[in-house]
Amino acid sequence: MNFENQTPFPALCYAAADPDRKEHRIVVMKVSHKIVRLDTSTWGLELITDGSVPLCFEDEYWGDLGQSSVKYESDLAPYKPRCDIILNGSAYTPDYKPMQALAVRIRLSIPEQKKEIKKPIKPQPLNPNMPLTDTQKRLWEQEQRQYQCELKEQQQIKYTVQLEKTLSILGESEFSPNAVLPGWKRTNIKTFTELPIRWEYAFGGSNILYRHANALGEPVFNQVCFTNPLGTGWIEKDYFDECEKVNSKRSRKEKIENYKHIPTPRIEYHLQRQPKPAINKHPKKADLTAQQMAKISANYAYKPAGFGFVGRAWAPRLALAGTYDEKWLEEQHPYPPQDTDYGYWNGAPTDQQVDFFYPNSRLELWNLTRPEFSNQGYVCIDFLGHRPYITLHFKTGEMVPFPMITETVLIDTDNMIISLTHKSWIRSDTAPLARVETHFSNEAEGALFEMVD
């Protein structure tokens, strides 16, 4: 089977196996757009056709692997049951004015389907040689006015919200023990003008201690927040006691200082401010299963807040990957486990996954682009209604078009680029193929193409 890309966009055909040990062909295409400002209150999209935004073949990170959050996930996932809406970018205060707190919001809406408006039929006189009666004229005029009003109203597109999410962005502060009363206090929040929206600034954390300050050898204490080991505001219950034990064995110069001063999360769900550190007890055994970690983390007081890709090894996402144990090695390897949930391949937070992405959707952003590019922090973008598709050319001579489904919408407000990753599955039991072609339709609705005799 040959694969031919008939578009200017990066595309690839590859194979992936399912838990039933069947290999399917998958076609992926990435269509990217540049966000452009047309005037003070209008923005548009321009297709990028020079190949400058390629397919991503492996996960890329903002910094070192394991020490930073994911910037881009691989486009070669076998299947996503829902569409991921991802935003990589930063929060900006209006006109870069220093602020202690700021709300940022993303909203994705779909246009309501237009109802059919029937043009009124002119009434007929009682007799062909007679004019319309006054009553008929009056009713005819009313029907015409109503028809014109409905036409005018239909020109104003109405939208239904499909996804809406608001986060609070805060300046730096920390939790510290209250010197007067039992408990914790939060220091004054500093001002800021911008902040990258990454999981490093959200709820989570890790408590890792070494016997010596040079961090060599195995850690004597190693506990991480299962939902986000990169963040802050989470503490394992024994951490403070373990710090004191380590300090008792270190020299004066090596002692851990200020270990009870905990940086606060700077990205939170809107109006859900964390008042004190979240202190949780973890089992001490190191061989917890993904399912056990998901169950433990479900009792955390807070959830990490963000717009980016969730770590593959974080709870509860990891539990969806299936069971990789000795039985899997003996009976199933190298195929996916029988209990694989394909929802594992959805990398967006669950509240940023939609059932279906509509090609003529509307995207709205608040305080997520540089002030000079926005209208008082607001940006509104209408997608162009394009639809990629493939054509299957069978060895028998038949040809069948097949739509590609959008599985990832990546909004990169740092570079003002939006990329849509589209996929089609070709089942293993499909009739023998001569070739597969990728195509691109400029129409949001209607037939993908017309047959020409």
pLDDT by residue (tens digit) across 167-225? Answer: 999 999 999 998 878 899 999 999 999 999 999 999 999 999 999 988 888 999 999 99
Report yes or no: 202 and 305 within 8 Å, Cβ to Cβ.
yes
pLDDT band at 364 (very low <50, low <70, confident <90, very high): very high
Residue 113: predicted pLDDT: 74
pLDDT band at 276 (very low <50, low <70, confident <90, very high): very high
Q: Which two tokens stand for residue 399?
A: 């040809």
Residue 89: predicted pLDDT: 97
Q: What are phi and psi of 193, to 5 degrees?
A: -120, -25
> Is the pLDDT at 126 greater than 90, yes or no?
no
Residue 447: predicted pLDDT: 53
> Is the pLDDT at 93 greater than 90, yes or no?
yes
In the predicted model, what is the mean pLDDT of residues 20-36? 96
Residue 407: predicted pLDDT: 97
In the predicted model, what is the mean pLDDT of residues 242-251? 94
Question: In this prediction, what percent of the chain has a pLDDT beyond 70?
Answer: 96
In the predicted model, what is the mean pLDDT of residues 62-70? 94
In the predicted model, what is the mean pLDDT of residues 18-33? 95
Instruction: Please give the single-letter amino acid code of residue 253.
Output: K
Question: In this prediction, what percent of the chain has a pLDDT beyond 90?
Answer: 80
CA dist., res. 143 & res. 152, Å (int): 14
CA dist., res. 140 & res. 154, Å (int): 21
pLDDT by residue (tens digit) across 384-429? Answer: 999 999 999 999 999 999 999 999 999 999 999 999 999 999 999 8
Q: 429: Cβ–Cβ under 8 A, 6 or more apart, which residues?
A: none
CA 447: distance to chain centroid? 29
> Is the pLDDT at 452 greater than 50, yes or no?
no
> Is the pLDDT at 382 greater than 60, yes or no?
yes
E strands in 260-374: 262-263, 267-269, 278-280, 353-354, 362-366
Angstrom distances, CA of residue 439 to CA of 50, 349, 387: 16, 31, 9
> Is the pLDDT at 4 greater than 70, yes or no?
yes
User: What residue ranges do the domains of the chain occupy?
Assistant: 2-112+160-441
pLDDT band at 135 (very low <50, low <70, confident <90, very high): confident
> Is the pLDDT at 453 greater than 50, yes or no?
no
CA dist., res. 256 & res. 264, Å (int): 19
pLDDT band at 129 (very low <50, low <70, confident <90, very high): confident
> Is the pLDDT at 451 greater than 70, yes or no?
no
Which position has the token pair 């064995």?
Answer: 249
> Is the pLDDT at 231 greater than 80, yes or no?
yes
* Mean model confidence pLDDT for the chain: 92
Instruction: Compute the C-alpha angle 63/65/70, nearest 5°.
Output: 65
pTM given for the model: 0.89
